[in-house]
Chains A and B, each alone.
Chain A
Amino acid sequence: MYVGKPLPRPEDFRFLTGRGKYVDDIKLPRCASAGFLRSPHAHARILRLDASRALKRPGVIRIVTAQDWAKAGHGKLVCVHPMPSSDGQPMREVLRPAFAAEEVHHVGDVLAAVVAETRHQVLDALDAIEVEYEPLPTLSVTARALDDGAPVVHEQLGSNLISEILRGDPSLAKQAFARAAHVTALTLDSNRLAGNPLEPRCYLASYEPETDHCTLWATTQVPHMLRRWICKYALNIPEHKLRVIAPDVGGGFGNKVNFHVEVSSIVWMSRELGRPVKWTATRSETLQSDTQARDHATEARMAFAVDGKILALQVDTIACLGGYLSNFAPSIPGNSYPQTITGLYTTPALDLRVRTVYTNTVPIDAYRGSGRPEATWVNERLLENAAREMGIDVVEIRRRNLLQSSDFPYKTPVGRVYDCGNPPALLNRLVEMAKYKELRQEQAQLRKEGKLMGIGIAAFLDKSGTGPSRQLSTRGGLHGGFESATIRVHSDGKVTVLSGSHSHGQGHSITFSQIAADRLGLPIEDIAVVQGDTDRVPYGNGTWGSRSASVGGTAIYRASETVLAKARRLAAHLLECNPDDLDYENTLFFVKGTNRKLSFAEVADAAYHGASYPSDPGFEPGLECTIFYDPPDLNDPQAMHLAVVLVDERIGRVRIREYYTVDDCGTMINPMIIEGQVQGGLGQGIGQAMMEHVIYDPDTGQLLTGTFMDYAMPRASDMPPLQSDYLCVPAPSNPLGVKGGSETGTIGPPAAIGNAVVDALWHLGVRSIELPITPYSVWRAIASASAGEA
């Protein structure tokens, strides 16, 4: 058995030796270079755009704008996951334009594309395009988006509201609040983040006029979806005329799922010019054009009975979606957020309102965690503050409220059904691992010495494994949730697995090989995995939302079983026995009780020779199976984190002294990969908690964090000592029992660390802490507490 073993990854060798093939590493002859003219204003009318001088610059081949896009009859960049308002009104949709025509709506909005012989000629020409703007009033603060008199991002809509999502039962919640023994209320904003996969986005399109066929190499997590969006919605070209290849991709984190504005134009230009065209983003461009994340303004309250049992949760959130709607954006605050907001507790009543809004900022979309970090920040901060106010220990209050394993399947107040789990076991393991009691004693001792130590916990769940397809479509979703797999046995018995998932760091190659090798009973060396090519791999929905193992992996599992059953049938035919009379062991089919046998390779050889095979109806030569597996349900990974912090009260510095995690991600196919995913997620989650923040000037909407010199991300010295453990409750919805294992690291840290910092400062009157928890944030919390404003 290979499943369960921490086997290393075959792709490491090319990455370690500098032989990886990322899109920008692909060099084609006659390749032209492209670049985009971007708005320096957050909100302005375009009075004049004159490219005539730029066109005369050396090497310039083409310059296109919104007028050319319209003239070419091109369409729109689609929003595939709409969320109508709860009163049935459709979303007020303004999609990202490939080129802004009359107004720009965020810094970085695209006005024109330049194609020239070299990159430097492109840059020179971009400088020579003349644009006259009339700056307009700008809105960049989410909390102010619905204020009377707030600047309106899209004038034709009359306000900044996109949709209003209501979940739960307000009257039930109201009753609960009325009879509550205790109510805790907090402002709980989520900071805006940039995902920043280390490889900037890059697109290389190569059109061959003689075959009318175009190949696009793209930094994407979803090659088939990208092909569909470009062909069907943006450029109106037949899908069989476009091949999308996602080669090595340098990190994705959701950023490379989204339908970004530049990609269609690169395909268009290559088709127009009949030669390859490439665009590689600079980091300054990714920070003003890659979709960003989080950015919620939230007021929330939690009601409790006298014994600390949660009675109700009320949440009122304004969720920013940026200057335009990106293609998955509405589902993050409208779907993922409500579905996880009550976390792992038996919250009987919920009153949730989410209003999504436009502001003059880069569009928001999926980024690792997507809605769950925002939800966990709300649920877990309220619970711990309440515990302290009510004099109940934070572990004890969780024990009183956690779902028990017997509560599953559990229907939440938003209607979502959690599949399985054992939250009390996770909490027990966390407390035991962290030596919680000793930590509390140490905290008291240190306090006497004037040192501020804090302990904080986050208990939460993820939402993984999207599909099922039908469920996605109920809200008007325009994509499926299935995954494809082909098991192709070659005539020598070796196997190629083609998967519709895509690895951009997650190590699918080894994980999928482990699944296929076990099911086929073959040595893992005999398996190779292919993904990321629409001309080689059947249609897949790609990798996002922690779906690859549970959906893509199950597709491989099932297709392998079908292939093995066919091999067994053929072997029985060749050995002149009944399939049930065969044993299969060590790659050999044996007739039970005899020494008659055939190897898997011999059966494969016969399958492709075609000289002799069963006359069963439908039995054909060859040994290959393709399936499109649509999962019956999502799955619900769960985790708990504990942070121990030391706070230097004088300068506001927080040091995370220790960090503990316990995950239940179901069956672990490759523990080494899972551990890497948990650790990597923590890098991003601790980044959100401690330093990451996309900042726009509140008055002008100017992007202030426009390079890596301004946008802080964790370095090696920022990561705390970590201890992790894993408990497994297998998912009931797939035969592997796997759940998502790659997002919990981003979900827990803001809440766990925020709770720890508030714990350390509680005696000073601090009740609230703003994300990210920088020294300034801590200093402000202490200062406002001592001024009596807490």
Chain B
Amino acid sequence: MATVRISLTVNGKPVVSDVEPRWPLVEFLREHLGLTGTHVGCDTSQCGACTVHVDGVALRSCTLFAVQADGCDVKTIESVSAGNELHPMQAAFHQHHALQCGFCTPGMIMSALDLVRREGYELSEETIRQNLEGNICRCTGYYNIIKAIGAGAKAMRNASAG
């Protein structure tokens, strides 16, 4: 199949690549850039395991074609921590046991960071619950995820103030 050349930024680095028009962005990230932290859980935009940031906004990379990301700034879970230092949101997930099998976790973190961007550092439980509509976790019952996101948001404020 014919390919299309795309240029984009992925985790701060410029990428130029020839892609088939039918490749979802997640396939490009996982199979061609080796960024396997972004997962595919459902193929139909329901589970949110494939959530990445495109131009600063959380999007499903399973239903976005790679060609649609041409010219965009894409950030994946691999860009969140600084080396071995966990981001405050990641640290909060660890402290609150907000992950079990870990498969939904990258998508949860990317959605949580987008939530903080949109709603700020003080997040009510209700706000968190409503805004997690697009992310399925099959392991935790969400209780600890909700706690972790609230605590992670607060920790982000402290980190940015510090």
Pick the residue among B42, B43, B142 that contacts A683 (CB under 8 A): B142
**Alpha-carbon distance between A680 and B106 when the two chains are bound, in angstroms:** 18
Chain B residues contacting A17 (CB-CB under 8 Å) are 37, 77-78, 80-81, 86, 90
Bound-complex Cα distance A19 to B86 (A): 13
Q: Does A493 contact B (CB under 8 A)?
A: no
A15 vs B98: C-alpha distance when bound (angstroms): 11
- Interface 9-residue window, one of A266-274, A397-405, A502-510: A502-510
Contact B105 A505 (CB under 8 A): no
Task: Given A15-B99, A251-B139, A709-B46, decide whether A716 and B128 contact each other with a Cβ distance below 8 A.
Answer: yes
Given A18-B37, A197-B138, A676-B100, A716-B43 contact (CB < 8 Å): no
Most chain B CB atoms below 10 A, which of A14, A25, A253, A676: A676
Which A residues touch B94, using CB under 8 A?
8-9, 12-13, 16
The answer to whether A20 touches B37, judged by C-beta atoms less than 8 angstroms apart, is yes
Give CA–CA (A530, B100) in the complex, Å. 17
Tell me the smallest distance from the CB of B139 to a CB of chain A, in Å. Answer: 5
Question: Does A352 have its Cβ within 8 Å of any Cβ on chain B?
Answer: no
For the complex, would chain B's binding face be called helix, strand, loop or mixed by DSSP majority?
A: loop
Question: Which residues of B lie under 8 Å from residue A716 when comparing CB positions?
Answer: 128-130, 132-133, 135, 142, 145-146
* B105-150 residues at the A interface, CB under 8 angstroms: 105-106, 109, 128-130, 132-133, 135-146
The residue that A8 contacts in the complex, of B95, B142, B145, with Cβ under 8 A, is: B95
Chain B residues with Cβ below 8 Å from A91 are none
Given A283-B44, A716-B142, A250:B103 Cβ within 8 A: yes
User: A708 — which chain B residues lie within 8 A by C-beta?
Assistant: 42, 44, 46-47, 136
A717 to B132, Cβ gap below 8 A? yes
Residues of B11-69 contacting chain A, CB below 8 A: 20, 22, 30-31, 34-44, 46-47, 49
Shortest A288–chain B CB gap in Å is 13
Minimum CB–CB distance from B64 to chain A (whole Å) comes to: 17
Does B77 contact A251, Cβ atoms closer than 8 Å? no
Hey, what's the 0/1 contact readout for A87-115 against B, CB within 8 Å counting as 1? 00000000000000000000000000000
Q: List residues of chain A with CB within 8 A of the CB of B2.
A: none
Asked if B97 is an interface residue, CB under 8 A from chain A, the answer is: yes
Kindly state whether residue B71 has any CB partner on chain A within 8 Å. no
In the bound complex, what is the Cα–Cα distance between A643 and B143 (angstroms)?
17
CB distance from B28 to the nearest CB of A (A): 13
Supposing A18-B78, A120-B1 touch, asked if A676 and B41 sit within 8 A by C-beta, the answer is no
Partner among A19, A27, A505, A719 whose Cβ is within 8 Å of the Cβ of B143: A719
Q: Is the CB of B102 within 8 A of A20?
A: yes
Known: A199-B39, A679-B141. A715 touches B103 (CB 8 A): no
Q: How many Å from the CB of B144 to the closest CB on chain A?
A: 7
Q: Count A-side interface residues using an 8 Å CB cutoff.
A: 58
Chain B residues within an 8 Å CB radius of A282: 43
Bound-state CA distance A437–B103 (Å) is 42
A681 CA to B140 CA in the complex, in Å? 8
**Is B74 an interface residue when CB atoms closer than 8 A count as contact?**
no
Contact with B along A280-307 (1 / 0, CB 8 A): 1011100000000000000000000000
Q: Does A196 contact B (CB under 8 A)?
A: yes
Residue pair A283, B42 in contact (C-beta under 8 Å)? yes
The distance in angstroms between the C-alpha atoms of A722 and B136, with both chains bound, is: 19
Task: Quote the shortest CB–CB distance from A498 to chain B (angstroms).
Answer: 21
For B103, give its contact among A198, A673, A675, A713 (CB under 8 Å): A198
Q: How far is A284 from B40 in the complex, measured between Cα atoms in Å?
A: 12
Tell me, in angstroms, the Cα distance from A25 to B104 when the chains sit together: 14
A200 within 8 A of B: yes
Supposing A8-B94, A504-B101, A708-B136 touch, asked if A198 and B142 sit within 8 A by C-beta, the answer is no
Set of chain A residues within 8 Å of B95, measured between Cβ atoms: 8
Please give me the residue from chain A that is nearest to B35 by CB atom: A18
With beta carbons under 8 angstroms apart, the residue of B22, B31, B130, B142 that contacts A719 is B142
Contacts of B130 in A (CB 8 A): 716-717
Q: A686 to B42, alpha carbons, bound, how many Å?
A: 21
- A200–B133 alpha-carbon span in the complex (Å): 21
**Cβ-based interface call for A672 (8 A):** yes
Tell whether, in the assembled complex, residue A250 and residue B102 are in contact, meaning their CB atoms are under 8 Å apart.
yes
CA distance A12 to B130 in the complex (A): 25
Looking at the assembled complex, report how far the CB atom of B81 sits from the nearest CB atom of chain A, in whole angstroms: 5
Residue of A nearest to B78 (CB): A18
**Nearest A-chain residue to B132, judged by Cβ:** A716
- A198 touching B47, Cβ below 8 Å: yes
A506 touches B36 (CB 8 A): no
Report the Cα distance A199→B138, complex, angstroms. 10
A198→B93 contact, CB < 8 A: no
Smallest Cβ-Cβ distance to B89: which chain A residue: A16
CA distance A20 to B103 in the complex (A): 8
**Given A13-B86, A708-B46, A719-B142, A198-B136 contact (CB < 8 Å):** yes
CB nearest neighbor in B for A287: B42
CB pair A672 B97 closer than 8 Å = yes
Chain A residue nearest in CB terms to B130: A717
Contact across chains for B139 and A680 when beta carbons are under 8 A apart: yes
A11 within 8 A of B: yes
Inter-chain contacts of A681 with B (CB < 8 A): 141
Known A18-B78, A680-B141, A683-B141; judge A249-B46 contact (CB<8 A): no
Chain A 705-742, CB within 8 Å of chain B: the 1/0 string? 00111000111110100100000000000000000000
User: How far is it, in angstroms, between the C-alpha of A715 and the C-alpha of B20 when the chains are bound?
Assistant: 34
A335 and B67 CA atoms in complex are apart in Å by 54
A residues near B46, Cβ cutoff 8 Å: 707-709
Across-interface contacts of A560 in B (CB, < 8 A): none
Looking at A18, A676, A722, the one whose CB has the most chain B CB atoms below 10 A away is A18
| Contact of A251 with B44 at beta-carbon distance under 8 Å, contacts A120-B22, A676-B144, A719-B142 already known | no
| Cα of A25 to Cα of B78 in the assembled complex, Å | 14
Interface residue from A9, A251, A252 paired with B97 (Cβ < 8 Å): A9
Which 4 pairs, one residue from A and one from B, show the smallest C-beta to C-beta distance? A18-B37, A15-B102, A250-B103, A505-B101
A residues within 8 Å of B by Cβ? 8-9, 11-20, 22, 24-25, 27, 120, 196-200, 248-253, 280, 282-284, 504-507, 672-673, 675-676, 679-684, 686, 707-709, 713-717, 719, 722, 745
Q: List 14 additional A-B contacts (Cβ < 8 Å) besides A15-B99, A676-B97.
A: A9-B94, A17-B37, A22-B103, A24-B36, A25-B30, A27-B34, A27-B36, A198-B136, A250-B101, A250-B102, A282-B43, A708-B42, A717-B130, A719-B129
What are 21 A-B pairs at a CB distance below 8 A?
A: A8-B95, A12-B102, A14-B102, A17-B78, A18-B78, A18-B106, A24-B36, A27-B31, A27-B36, A120-B1, A250-B39, A250-B101, A250-B103, A505-B139, A676-B140, A684-B138, A708-B44, A713-B136, A715-B132, A719-B141, A722-B141
